[in-house]
Amino acid sequence: MRARVFVTLKPSVFDPQGRTIADALHSLGYGSVQAVRQGKYFELDLATTEAAKAKVLAAEVADKLLANPVIESYRIEVE
């Protein structure tokens, strides 16, 4: 199975990169882009065929390494 892990800064954490990208988009005329948050995306190839197990495993590695709970939160999709 494949798990996708999306790691983003928590809403309370200022994201200077996202802000700079938003500014750049505004200067390109995309005023309707109100805000940008930059994050990280991981694809995990997992040796399991059960979605539930895949989700648990992905959450475990996200907790352990992929995300730093002090500043980041994550979301998982499996297929």
Partner 1 sequence: MLTRAGDTVKFAVIVFPGSNCDEDAYHAATAVLGQKAEYVWHKDTDLKGADVVVLPGGFAHGDYLRTGAMARFSPIMREVRTFAERGGPVLGICNGFQVLLEAGLLPGAMLRNRGLKFRCEHVHIRVEQTDTPFTLACRGGQVLRMPIAHGEGNYFAEPDVIARLEANRQVIFRYTTAEGELRDDANPNGSVSAIAGICNDTRNVVGLMPHPERACESPLGSADGLLIFESVVQSLKAGALVAGA
Partner 2 sequence: MIDPQVLERHQLKPDEYDRILQFLGREPNLTELGLFSVMWSEHCSYKSSRVHLKTLPTEGPQVLQGPGENAGAVDIGDGLAAVFKIESHNHPSFIEPYQGAATGVGGIIRDIFTMGARPIALLNSLRFGALDMPGTPRLLEGVVAGIAGYGNSMGIPTVGGEITFDPAYAGNPLVNVFCLGVAKASDIIKGVASGVGNAVYYVGAKTGRDGIHGATMASAEFDERSAEKRPAVQVGDPFMEKLLLEACLEVMKTDALIGIQDMGAAGLTCSTSEMGSRGGAGIEIDISLVPQRESGMTPYEIMLSESQERMLLVVKPGREAEVERIFEKWDLHAVSIGRVTADGMLRVRERGQVVAEVPTGALTDQAPVYRRPMTPPDYLADAQRLDLDALERPRALDAGRTLSSPATHGLFALLGSPTIASKRWAYRQYDHMVRTNTINLPGLGAGVVRLKGTDRALAMSLDGNGRYCYLDPYRGAMLAVAESARNVACTGARPLGATNCLNFGNPERPEIMWQLAKAVEGLGAACRALGVPITGGNVSLYNETDGAAIYPTPVIGVVGVLDHADRVVGSRFRAPGDVIVLLGEGSGELGGSEYLKLVYDLVRGAPPALDLDRERALQELVIALVGERLIRSASDCSEGGLAVTVGECSFGTGGIGAELSVEPVNVARNPHLNVAATLFGESASRIVVSVAGDAVTAVLKQAAAAGVPTRVIGRTGGDRLRIATGGDIVIDVSIEEAERVWSTAIERYFVKKVA
Interacting residues toward partner 1 by CB under 8 A? 9, 12-14, 16-17, 20, 65-66, 68, 70-71
Q: Which does 70 bind (CB under 5 to 8 A by kind): partner 2, partner 1, none?
A: partner 1
Q: Which does 23 bind (CB under 5 to 8 A by kind): partner 2, partner 1, none?
A: partner 2
Phi/psi for 13 (5° steps) reads -100, 130
Please give the helix or strand (H or E) that residue 7 lies within, else none.
strand 2-9
Please, are residues 41 and 4 in contact by the beta-carbon 8 Å criterion? yes
3: amino acid identity, one letter? A
Q: Which stretch binds partner 2 (CB under 8 A): 15-23, 31-39, 47-55, 63-71?
A: 15-23
